[in-house]
Structure 1
Amino acid sequence: MNESKVSSPATQQLEKRTTWIVNILSIAIPLMVALLLGIRTKVDLGTWTKVLPHCIGAINTLTSICLVGGIIAQRLGKIGAHRVMMTSAFSLGGVFLVCYVTYHLSNESTRYGGEGIWRGVYYTVLISHILLSLVVLPFVLRAFLFAFTQQIARHRQVAKWAFPIWLYVSVTGVIAYLMISPYYTK
């Protein structure tokens, strides 16, 4: 694996282009989601979209498992297994985004119906989940880019920040889902 500090002009040009893509995605994805949540008129895509929150909960669960499996594999020196687990987690993130956008494009947001301390717990979990999902996105994209381009030293630098935040976001996604799932309409 190439960890050299000197890179060719072609590699530098590729890195500039991919950095631009990472930066654009880091801004465009949260903006798209924010705009989507603000749309008052929902698109009728059918009743099948009602199952998407359950799929999203499962995706967050699988992502958490892949992240933990990936770090265990990395610590055991099983880089191939680490790559598979982290690529799976990254891919699940893409599937999550498609499901999330589809659900919120076609359905009103569900209100949490709990009361008392549980209401505070739910909103603390949800708000930290949302805010940190915005923070972690550019880190995850960069970690994936550096791993893909075999810039392992840079990958490690970014991954040490990306991993714990990504795991937190993934696990709190599961917790938020479990807390709100009784309030989804059928």
Structure 2
Amino acid sequence: MDFIEVGIISEVKDDRARVSIGSMVTDFLPVIQMANEFACGFVPTRVGEQVVVLPIRGSLNAGVVLRSIYQTAHEAPGVDTKEQLFVFEDGIKMSYNTASSTLTISSPKQINIKCVNVDLNAKNINATAQNTTLKSHSISFTGDMRLNGNLNVSGNITDIKGDLTGHSHSDSDGGTSLPR
């Protein structure tokens, strides 16, 4: 009869793994992941990951793999008891701090969001970038707008009084001139 054992992942095949426990290597065992009707998740298992094997009916070869145990090669990325933190191998960090109610996502490269509609509601929005491009058939702003810098328009400009692009002015001498 086998007991609960700590081992190291030695081989991975899809959603199953073999575990080295001393000189013994288990059969390919299922790795516990989040999987139910509400949601399913997958976190790839890696060779070298320290895990626990839970035997079923006393057999490690019929058991399941419970992961992961912090170790020297994979230490806890943080120990703040008010923050849940995920750090990925490429530098992506996602955290949620319950003390400040702050969700933080940090990416060294790119973030893509794809959906039908986006509703963003905030007291204040601050965006900083070297360049910003918005593509849309139509863009509407409601409220006062301040532009600090130059305005370069490649199309027509109109306001509630009409066309500002091709209008002319009456000069003091009775003639007309184009806008300056």
Q: Scaled by the length of structure 2, what TM-score is found?
A: 0.20
Question: Which structure carries more strand by proportion?
Answer: 2
Question: Which structure carries more helix by proportion?
Answer: 1
Higher normalized contact order (CA 8 Å, seq sep 6+, divided by chain length):
1
Q: Scaled by the length of structure 1, what TM-score is found?
A: 0.19
Structure with greater Cα Rg: 2
